[in-house]
Amino acid sequence: TAGSDERSGANSAQVEALCIAQGLPAALLPDYENSFGILQGVYGGNPDLDPETADTLTIGLVLRPWSERPPWSSMQVSLDWYRIEMDDAIVQATALNYIPLCFDARVNPGFSPDDELCRLFSRDPVSGDIVDLMDIYQNIVGFEVSGIDLQFDWSFKAGPGDVGVNWLASWMDYFDSIAAPGLPPDNEAGRIGNFIGGSLPEWKWNLNLSYTWKDLSLGGRWRYIDGMRDREFDDYTVPSYDYFDLFASYVVEEGMLSGLTLRAGVENLANEDPPLVASPVGANTDPSQYDVLGRRYYFNLTYRF
């Protein structure tokens, strides 16, 4: 496109030559503007994929109190550090990513139309517009991810019953991804958008609190998701989210109904709506990360005999 960074940069002559080699009519080149209409192509799998390979390193630590006296005796903390290095990672190729990389000197230093990424699209011989996209699964160089998982468990007497605490927290230090040879690592931690399932919050946790008295158990849950920045629009941020759930259960231990368990609860108590994501993504949010159903109630009966 005329006036783009590629056409006005240090490699503008090579970029223009590549456009012509791809099929853009030379007469249209000086003032060419892509129509940006609906682009058609193929979306799906790829039989030529290489298998992913990974090296995983984990170090774990479990801490328990020295005292055997309640309430400290039931306390336990576990910490797990991990680092995963994935080679030939399989990802969904999208035109927003591979078209700019076709004209990137770091990835395609010879500005060859036969470059692997350049072959994922074609040009209309009359208009010069991009056609026949190949949004198929591809192997990238890989990624490396590291972080810490924490679990805290504690139970103690309080009045006639018992209090239970369970905290599961996860901190992602970094998620370095390399899409193509020649590119530096791109830290994806704290990013959201472009595809469902791609949300990578730095912090997440579930805090569960319960109180059990005889056959009755009452509890609540706090689910936390850290705020993130959009992958495509760096200035657009999604705030942190807090979800609260309440639940209760009653177990019948005696009588004709012995073995019956009643459970009830409400999820997403505050009826939080999922956030909107600025970059193109189905449903305008990430349903793999956020609650898209709103407040809901449940009641369950289980009978064992």
pLDDT of residue 102: 92
Beta bridge partners of 267: 296
pLDDT band of residue 57 (cuts 50, 70, 90) is: very high
pLDDT of residue 3: 61
- Average pLDDT (234-247) is 96
pLDDT of residue 37: 62
pLDDT of residue 2: 62
pLDDT band of residue 283 (cuts 50, 70, 90) is: confident
Q: Between vectors from CA 195 to CA 179 and to CA 51, what angle results, nearest 5°?
A: 45
pLDDT band of residue 41 (cuts 50, 70, 90) is: confident
pLDDT band of residue 282 (cuts 50, 70, 90) is: confident
pLDDT band of residue 35 (cuts 50, 70, 90) is: low
Per the prediction, the chain carries an average pLDDT of 91
Residue 34 pLDDT greater than 90, yes or no: no
Range name among 50-64, 173-187, 228-242, 271-285 with the lowest pLDDT average: 271-285
Phi and psi of 151, rounded to 5°? -135, 130
pLDDT of residue 36: 61
pLDDT of residue 264: 97
CB atoms within 10 A of CB 62: 10
pTM: 0.84
Classify strands 186-187 and 191-192 as parallel, antiparallel or unpaired: unpaired
- Average pLDDT (117-136) is 90
Residue 7 pLDDT greater than 80, yes or no: no
Report the alpha-carbon distance of residue 301 to residue 86 in Å, rounded.
44
pLDDT of residue 9: 77
Question: Quick one: how far is CA 277 from the chain centroid?
Answer: 13
Residue 179 pLDDT greater than 70, yes or no: yes
